[in-house]
Copies of this chain bind each other. A is one copy, B any other.
Amino acid sequence: MGGTLQGSPDAVITRLAPLASAGPDELAFVAQARYAHQIQTTQAGALIVSPVLQEAAALRGACIVTDDPYLYFARLTQWWRSEHEPLPEPTIDPLSSIHPLAVIEPDVDIAAFAVIGAGARVARGARIGAHVVLGRDAVVGPDTTLHARVTVGERCVIGARCTLHPGVVIGADGFGFAPHQGQWIKIEQLGAVRIGNDVEIGANTCIDRGALDDTVIEDGVKLDNLVQIGHNVRIGAHTAMAGCVGVAGSATIGARCTVGGGAVVLGHLSLADGVNISAATVVTRSIREPGHYTGVFPIDDNASWEKNAASLKQLNRLRERLKAAEQAIAQASNNTPKP
């Protein structure tokens, strides 16, 4: 994996551990300079550090030196999992329900009580968890993992090497109704969802099918848990969204954006590439320039908040009063005899 070992190659490491709590047989990493002071105090058996921290780390014991310790650590976790929790050989559980017109490629794992619909296609190396439902003509790409009880609606397509966590719903109907005489008339959602390669989707997250065209999630997108993606949204490649984000219908999010937890993006808006939205911020207008955007009411002790919130409801009036005061000052200044 690259990196240079400094110290004994015979040290036994039994676990990867956080810097603060690591013990003598554990390996920790120092990703950022601001944790450098912990190098002196950590009990870790070995450290992963960047070249600038090599000297300090070597003074206390074994270390692995690499340009990007956080990246090295990420790859190490992947190796660790493959070593310690290797995937079992793929099998097709006899308690699954696979339609005779479904296409199951070789080396596919299908767990108990999964349901694979007519015309659905599961590509080589894919793993279909317990209680997964693939609708008619749904497609799961090679080496993609659907964890327990993921639902993929009819005609929806998932790319290669994706991971969908439990409870994900792909391709439920978008929320579309025409008003008519005080009632709502259903607009059938005739589109589907298309998800690119290397996409990860968190538990119980929902991505709705498009009304006419498809909802599109591009390559490398990462969505956390309990995220809601409305119909006809497009999310650009390598964009990441934290938990509980909601993106309303027909919004277009650029590539390499980040959206903090609990943020809301209203419908039909566009976000440029490289936009970072803070947690819990409500995006009420399109954002054309990359950058960092925020809109959050600052937390305060409740009594202070009550006073400030009450004043906020008069803010426009305060602004007018200030303007009047400024005018009175200006006028007084004109009228006052100069010293």
Contacts and interface: CB of A to CB of B under 8 A. Distances in A.
Q: How many copies does the complex hold?
A: 3
Contacts of A188: 77-78, 80-81
A184 B241 CA distance: 12
Given A77-B190, A78-B188, A315-B312, A262 B246 contact: yes
A193 to B, nearest CB: 12
Given A206-B225, A316-B311, A180 B285 contact: no
A196 to B, nearest CB: 12
Contacts of A190: 16, 77, 80-81
Interface in A219-233: 220, 222, 224-226, 228, 230
Given A212-B17, A240-B177, A282-B279, A172 B147 contact: yes
Contacts of A285: 299
A21 B212 CA distance: 10
Contact of A246 (B230, B261, B313): B261
Nearest to A85: B154
A279 B292 contact: no
B238 A242 contact: no
B151 A149 contact: yes
A189 B73 CA distance: 12
A166 interface: yes
Contact of A294 (B21, B70, B182, B305): B305
Given A299-B285, A308-B315, A319-B318, A71 B178 contact: yes
A165 interface: yes
A282 B297 contact: yes
A75 B184 CA distance: 11
A80 to B, nearest CB: 6
A299 B310 contact: no
A184 B222 contact: yes
Contact of A169 (B81, B165, B256, B321): B165
13 contacts: A17-B213, A77-B187, A93-B97, A131-B131, A173-B200, A278-B302, A281-B299, A285-B299, A293-B300, A295-B296, A295-B298, A332-B332, A335-B336
